[in-house]
Structure 1
Amino acid sequence: MKDLFSEQSELYQQARPTYPQALVNCLIQQLNGLECAWDCGAGSGQLTRLIAPYFQTVIATDLSQNQLDQAPALPNVQYLQQAAEQTSFADQSFDLITVAQAIHWFDFEKFYAEVKRTLKADGIFAVIGYGLLELDDQDLNERVGCLYFETLNGFWDAERRYIDEQYQTIPFPFEEIAMPQFQIELGWTGLQLWDYLNTWSAVKHYQDQLHVSPLASLQDILQIKQTIGVSFPILLRVGRLSHLK
């Protein structure tokens, strides 16, 4: 698994969107038990904090200790620096395993072996993410699209394609559960959008290689924008161990 976000862990925690409560409610309704959950690739806890109220114990792991250090301290949550593909957990430990906006960085085969080993027989596995944002300001939306598809073309890691493909092309060797569609809907200031764009891994790669910000042309307009309607499509694959019928 790659660690692309340790250096910007504080910005990531502040600027990345959170997930809708309706999504969490829908996942919880699928469960038979609420003892223990594992939030893998938890980063700074965007999803961890949302599922924590429902479980006796939540274990949140990430490759980046810097990211975990930004996560909220919660009484029933334990944060551990561990790779997704090799964990210290006992067999059949978890009622729910989640991975949010991270699975595209994992070694699928090794991670899925851990999921199958540590998920309870009647447990649920959920892959969650979000795609390219859309803005209600048409001009700004076109500018961000140009940034994403043109300016940053060649600077995205290859794994990013799984998000562009809505997580529909990842291997998913589980018995899939049909789920509703969800969206993240927010009202952001221009500065909040600026901070979010600065968390993109391709922006960092561009700056590291060319020593100039790919966001320079957006800086002036974002400094004066008050409220921008922002929506992200939620990517979601949910399943059970395939031996259950």
Structure 2
Amino acid sequence: MDEGLNTRQEYYLRLWILMLSLDSGLANVTTLLRFERPVSHMTGNLSSMVLAVGSGEGQLFLRLFLALTLFLLGGMLSGFLFRERLFAPQKRYGVLLILGGLVSLFLRERPELFYFLCFFMGTQNAMFVGFRGTLVRTTHFTGYLSDIAFELGAFFSCKGHHGWKIRLYLASILCFLIGGAVAFWAVPRGGAELFLAGAYLMSGSYYFLLRRFGHWGPSVPRKPLSQGTDKALGLPDISV
């Protein structure tokens, strides 16, 4: 069994995770401004479906239902590709991101971009990505806010806490906001979709650089793993 990642390898991996958070911010604000709907999370869309039924807006309901279905199908794709529940340097991570960038580029001026991004956000959010033994998500951050609050509560109670989680989650939220700010600036100028496609192409290419030049670190143990625990990824849980 390996001993996990060293400090330098963790730095490069953390940077990739933050890039994914920035990508999500770009995607979500772009669709909010262009299509008036989010794609990185579905809670608001679920609530809007209820309102659409109550107000008799059948077309809106069908649109939201399709968005939700595509998000689920995207998650199913990740479930199929990462069914071993192992976070290891597999090519499929980079391939998915590069394909997402290319399709976004192709659809940049078409309304179908909204539906593709619903699918792709579902795929990205369900990708089996981890850091220090903890499964991380990179498209929405309600859970991160709860986790930050929990760790702060543990800190003030003088019990065990994970300072690195607070730093990682805050940095991820900041990158999401930066991506959103870029989209807010670029949408009126007609360039947000190009930024979005380029960001995913960069994230996918950066991932392959991690693999190529050995900055990833050793693979995790080859055994089935379960989500939801600090040991879910076979990497050591290091408290700071």
Taking structure 1 as the reference length, what is the TM-score of the superposition? 0.29
TM-score w.r.t. the length of structure 2 is: 0.30
Between Structure 1 and Structure 2, the one with more helix by share is 2
